[in-house]
Structure 1
């Protein structure tokens, strides 16, 4: 049963702005399923899947529909580089919890440089470009943890080492303990192990719930680590 006070209880296609199901991104099986069947969210949701499956598209569209800057940051972040977001945001209706926090924060690895630059320009968070990418990423999560509400993270492992991923898990655990809701897309088996998460795989089948051990990314990483040469011999 979905917690009625979550910032985001579910998403579905907006009745007043239906998507053209013959146009991208609705032609992707996960997007078609999301639009026609909707998707409910618990306190922690982790989305996995191969490149191009639609994980980032979903997270980005939710961020935009929620009122967050699609290039990262909170509702008041004004930075913008080049608009590349999908039209999915225009066709989503969010089901919010009654009385739940409307605050939130969006972190996406591919636009962190512009977000750091924006914060430096407005005098927030110190000089982030003088730190490593991973250090800055963890610092911004720690500094903004007071925001609470809905936290969206798109493939944050791009900025992080293994120890950095473990540190992020600790920060996310603390956010949840403080009442925040987490939606995370990832290729990392470490981040997919976030305790208490509902796990979903996106792919040609659409969107399906999965257990950790049955995730394709977990099984593939285990196979690679057990025998790297089985994979490397196909490189030619």
Structure 2
């Protein structure tokens, strides 16, 4: 157990399993959800990692919706969707919270960021770097939101933020995160980026067919494959383009 830090607004995510009608239908048939009982969150940064379809974004979206964020992303005042729950998972989880109340919050969802940027333009909200988000490149627009909209003393949920960011920008995001953590903020991030998940002391939860388990950074498949590729890019390319009968990238 980690002693709660001043910035820890969420302690635990729990699935009320007795209320689940069955684990045969989506999203409860996802192994990570099917095996979920409770998941403790780090007071600063918690990463959800795993293959596409492993359930990391599904759980993150449910947490975001439970906190009152639009499923399309943005702040709690961003009304891109009108109904209360879109995911059945949202209505079946309980969030264990501290007595502290965040002063700020943002759900950054790469998949629907275009819709969020469009809404900001329609409302004339140009406080994201001084100009329309659509008049910037996707990466610039994304980072403008990270740099200018997040104010500290907040809880921030990011779904694959690396999708629009170069490696250098991902490192800049780490710096921005560190500044906000110093201003009593907490992050929960679903990612594939070995750069982001290297943040010191963060907890990394790996989503797989076996459920959810906490792993060390060096034990993540993302780190191992990237590290091996960087050590021997030519050998890896040879294996990828002329593979043996059973390709094993982790060997």
Q: Of the candidates 151, 154, 172, which is equivalent to residue 156 of structure 2?
A: 151
User: Are 1:13 and 1:19, in contact at CA under 8 Å, matched by a contact in 2?
Assistant: no
> Deviation digits for residues 85-107 of structure 1, max 9, x if unmatched?
53211111111111332642100
**Residue 230 of structure 1 corresponds to which residue in structure 2?**
239
Contact 2:104/2:150, CA 8 A, preserved across alignment: no
The 10-residue stretch of structure 1 (132-141 or 24-33) with the greater mean CA deviation from structure 2 = 24-33
- Displacement of 1:17 in angstroms is 4.5
Choose the corresponding residue for 1:31, options 11, 30, 33: 33
Equivalences for residues 127-166 of structure 1 within 5 A: 127-146=132-151, 148-166=153-171
Structure 1 length-normalised TM = 0.90
Structure 1 distance, partners of 2:27, 2:124, is: 37
- How many residues align? The count is 233
- Aligned equivalents of 2:224 and 2:152: distance in 1? 35
Contact 1:75 1:103 in 2 (8 A): no
Following the alignment from structure 1 to structure 2, what is the Cα–Cα distance between the partners of residues 19 and 13?
Answer: 12
Choose the corresponding residue for 1:7, options 9, 24, 30.
9
1:220 is aligned to: 225
Aligned-residue RMSD, C-alpha? 2.4
> Taking structure 2 as the reference length, what is the TM-score of the superposition?
0.85
SS in 2 for 1:146: coil
Give the aligned partner of residue 89 of structure 1: 90
Matched, 1:171 2:176: yes
TM-superposed deviation, 1:79: 1.9
Q: Is 1:183 aligned with 2:163?
A: no
Q: Which has the larger radius of gyration?
A: 2
Which has the larger helix fraction? 1
Which blocks of at least 5 consecutive residues in structure 2 are unaligned? 245-251
